[in-house]
Amino acid sequence: MAKLTPFTMPKWGIEMAEGTIADWMVAENAPFDRGTVLTLIETDKITNEVEAEKPGRFVRILAKPGETYPVGALLAVLSDGGEAGADEIDAVVAAFRPSEAGFGPDGDDTPGAPEPTDQAPPAKAEQPVPPGIAISPVALAEAQRLGVDLSAVTGSGRGGRIFAQDIHQAARPEAKPHLIGAFAATPDSPVLSTPVARRLAGLHGLKLETITGTGPRGKVRRDDVLALVQQAAPPAPAPAPEPKAALASAAPPPATSSGDVDVMPMSSMRRTIARRLTESKQQIPHFYVRRRVRADRLMALRSAVTGDRPSINDYIVKATALALLEVPAVNVQVHGTDIHRFGSADISVAVATERGLVTPIVFGADSLSVGAIGTVMKGLAQRARSGKLKPEEFAGGSFSLSNLGGFGVEQFDAIINPPQGAILAVGTARPEPIDDDGAIRIVPVLHVSLSCDHRAIDGADAGRFMAALASLLEHPHLL
């Protein structure tokens, strides 16, 4: 007798709430070995390969490619290798109950989780830092204030360095599931039907005995119930005829394309990007500081490099990192009413992929050479475009940089990537006249724009950062 187990949507990372089935790599009832890639699951930023932990086969695949399912949802029924009857598989599907505890799309606790109180717990005696643990001074103070055991905290910084947000996460109370009551359902019926079909039938007052099922062995499915509901809906009233005078004076309708419209649902990544950027523009008070930067010396310096030559963007990343150290007020994250200031420049660099915009992080860019930054960026960009980035490679960062110069864009303003406090937008270098010690010269000039969160960054800080950045780019030997 085959041993059947549910195959569910896995959870990668604390903020993952759902995933999209990109593709199934094995067919239903096809045996597979340990290590075989079973399915590709697309999350907010990456596409993960799910490998088989032991030999087996899928006796029933329920999830469809392209559809999105919450964490813990039933995707398929897995067998240890033996064959199983339809009744056994139906029993596993009917008995499955997904876990209700988890996290929402924004990383918040599930509904009903206890709200954090404003009153801070009493401070505890100072605890020594265990050997081998790297921690920022602010995080150490928070750990002592909240009484968090440092040996149980996993740092999100470079080399496992613990930041204040890691301490706050470790101190959060555990979320508890909260039942909100049963959904309306029909009484027990001998008609074979899916749980969703029974609930929809109960909601619309339909009897399952009157519905013709299109599933296996006549099972009533969701679409069968919805089809009957649509048939019972009253037809929309016909529009009243317009007066002839109005018809005569009306303008001709606008021309439409004769081709078909290709409607594509947003992917999980695209939905996350849309949600986060909408929240950023609605909730963050943006202000912008723009500047022209001469780039002729930088381009001449790059042209003199032999061998594997860094890109202009690699030089900009290095200059940005050094400018952030010079003006640390811009190298921040904003968490509610707290401002987290970083001692190193962890720069998120925007990379365009087929699935959307991804921002892998160059950690400690201030301590890397321009050549090392170029090597790191090539690896990050390649993994980003193939969907192979690890969560720790794009989560966090203290500052963002978006460069559209490669597409010929002259200048633009970027939207802040929360919780970061600022983002730099860089356009292409174009010939423009400048004042060079009293002489007018035409040289390549970059247009850069800094978008700032006014809750944490003042205009004077933004101006000092732009001045430092321009000085480094216009005197590239300082890099």
Selected catalytic residue, list 178, 204, 335, 454: 454
Inter-axis angle of helices 459-474 and 312-326, to 10 degrees? 130
User: Is 454 assigned a catalytic role?
Assistant: yes
In the block, tokens 């490099």 appear at 305
The strand pairing partners of 286, in sequence order, are: 453
The answer to whether residues 79 and 57 touch, using CB atoms and an 8 Å cutoff, is: yes
Is residue 422 within 8 A of residue 341, CB to CB? The reply is no
Residue 366 CA from chain centroid, whole number:
26
Residue environment code for 95-117, b if the CB has 16+ CB neighbours within 10 A, otherwise e: eeeeeeebbebeeebeeebeeee
Amino acid at 119: Q
Which residue reads 């490669």 in tokens? 406
- At 290, list the tokens: 């723009």
Q: Which residues fall within 8 angstroms of residue 12, CB to CB, at 6 or more apart? A: 43, 48, 391
Which sign does the torsion angle of CA 89, 90, 95, 97 carry? positive
Q: What phi and psi values does residue 28 have, to the nearest 5 degrees? A: -65, 135
For the annotated catalytic residues, the residue numbers are 454
